[in-house]
Amino acid sequence: MNIIVTGGAGFIGSNFVFYEREKHPEDRIVCVDKLTYAGNLSTLEPVMQDPMFRFVKADICDRAAMEQLFEEEKPDMVVNFAAESHVDRSIENPEIFLETNIIGTAVLMDTCRKYGIKRYHQVSTDEVYGDLPMDRPDLFFTEETPLHTSSPYSSSKASADLLVNAYHRTYGLPVSISRCSNNYGPYQFPEKLIPLMIANALADKPLPVYGEGLNIRDWLYVEDHCKAIDIIIREGKVGEVYNIGGHNEMRNIDIVKLILDYLGKPESLITHVTDRKGHDQRYAIDPAKIHSELGWLPETMFKDGIVKTIEWYLNNKSWWEEIISGEYQNYYQEMYGNR
């Protein structure tokens, strides 16, 4: 197959590219990324010379660029990871989230309709469901949970999900949607909780924690997520939504303390800062549907995944130190500037 992966230079997208190249070496992967601040081309260095891989710098909102790409590649599938995804940034500047996450999705699906496709898969988030109360540990998000967004980011993702369903019903576009819990693992941009805490702890800098850090998230190791998406696009039913959860609920403050303990750093580095506006309390996904229909279950317990993640950041300091310094943004120019 010929698969277009949008947002493939980002955290989850790049891990998906690596997983697909290893799991399905017979498939061609075409990675499309705009290379905004969170897209890092150097992440894809292990596959850049692979004859079954192609990288294209383009914006999914650029209709002409997408049509040209589809004309060249005649893809069988599109997996859309491309998204603005940081809640804090969405609060400060909502418009760019609406453009990329909604308009970009529409452009991709219009192009899929024009050129024909076996599957369009939308990578979404559990944040479209809002949050769950702290005092009801028995409650979980299911695929039937009503959408109830809290931030411009989650609103833009929910809007895209509704649009995907509408294209399926109106035009018969073969689609699927997955909604995942918080991912962690290698190549995550250092503004996110776990890599930020690791980097700051190693530099003996303050570790900023919102409020008391009691917010609960369900954590999913990124490779488990990639396996789930791979199963959905190949075996999942058209028109269906699948929740992908890790069964690993943790309070933010406990994760921060765990990282400090592993690195031998003092808890005095923790600095409590003013809480985020509209901060969701608890996320928790019930992955019963994808388990019963497709046989997927998360394989990585948080206690194991967090150690693997910390060790990866310890062993790949140059990758995230370049990001913190801003040097990574020069990589594309170095690779392609004279071509």
CA distance 184 to 37: 19
Tokens of 311: 């060790």
Q: Which of the 8 DSSP states describes residue 51? A: T
> Is residue 82 a contact partner of residue 105, using CB atoms and an 8 Å limit?
no
Q: Provide the token pair at 127.
A: 């944040």
Closest CA to 265 of 204, 185, 334, 339: 204
CA distance 95 to 87: 13
Is 127 one of the catalytic residues?
yes
27 given a catalytic annotation? no
Ranges of H-type helices in 187-301: 193-202, 222-235, 252-263, 288-294
Taking a C-beta distance cutoff of 8 angstroms, is the pair 33, 100 a contact? no
Distances (CA, A) of 326 to 60, 177, 189, 318, 320: 24, 34, 12, 12, 10
Active site residue 20: no
Per DSSP, what are the bridge partners of residue 249?
218
Residue of 126, 218, 224, 249 with catalytic role: 126
Catalytic residue (one of 127, 218, 224, 249): 127
> Of the residues 120, 129, 153, 283, which is catalytic?
153
| Cα–chain center distance at 48 | 21
Radius of gyration of the chain (CA): 19
Q: Count of H helices and E strands in the chain?
A: 13, 12
Q: Which residues are marked as active site?
A: 126-127, 153
